[in-house]
Amino acid sequence: MNVPSTNDAENNLIKLGIELPQAPSPFGAYIAAVQTGHLLFLSGMLATAGHKPTVVGIVGKDLDVEAGRKAAYTAALNALSLSQKQLGSLNRVRRVVRLGVSIAATPEFVEHARVADSASELLRAVLGEDTMSTRLVIGVASLPFGSPIALEVILEVT
């Protein structure tokens, strides 16, 4: 197993001019994150701001690929914000072990990878090339509150 170099995520946020939103709080009888050993599991991150969806709809019907990408970016910002809150600093992220991307999509939709890349690219830009994740992308029937995106995130942390 490679020992990844310490990342410089907090500086990257400043360089990129990214201001993280408030970390999302749970919508039910669960908690935002659980750490077990060196693994930090996040709850599903939606395209939400302040407990409200920023966009609703099915990609391939109500929303096009660009709108899906924007929703994935919003959900990834939420994942970064929550990770920062849990860890104190994003510099403590060693690896994104798993990024799961559920896209509310039609049966005919085939451009899932382009939508998911929007989240992957943000995480790579902020956390650094050395933290790149495995990825699992599926098109689902529907998501909580009509969100077009739900992200699964498992991090390896120091």
In the complex, the residues that contact its own copies under the rule CB under 8 A are 1, 26-39, 41-44, 58, 60-61, 95-100, 102, 104-110, 112-114, 116-117, 120-121, 124, 132-146, 150, 152, 154, 156
Amino acid symbol at 26: P
Tell me how far, at minimum, the Cβ of 128 lies from its own copies, in Å.
Answer: 13
Nearer to its own copies, 41 or 55 (CB): 41
Distance CA 43, CA 70 (A): 20
What the block records as the tokens of 27 is: 């919508």
Nearer to its own copies, 13 or 95 (CB): 95
Nearer to its own copies, 13 or 99 (CB): 99
Tell me how far, at minimum, the Cβ of 25 lies from its own copies, in Å.
Answer: 12
Nearer to its own copies, 18 or 140 (CB): 140
Amino acid symbol at 79: A
Torsion of CA 101, 138, 57, 47, to 10 degrees: -10
Distance CA 35, CA 86 (A): 9
Q: What residue has token string 């689902």? A: 140
**What is the DSSP pairing of strand 52-53 with strand 93-104?**
unpaired
Tell me how far, at minimum, the Cβ of 152 lies from its own copies, in Å.
Answer: 5
Tell me how far, at minimum, the Cβ of 108 lies from its own copies, in Å.
Answer: 7
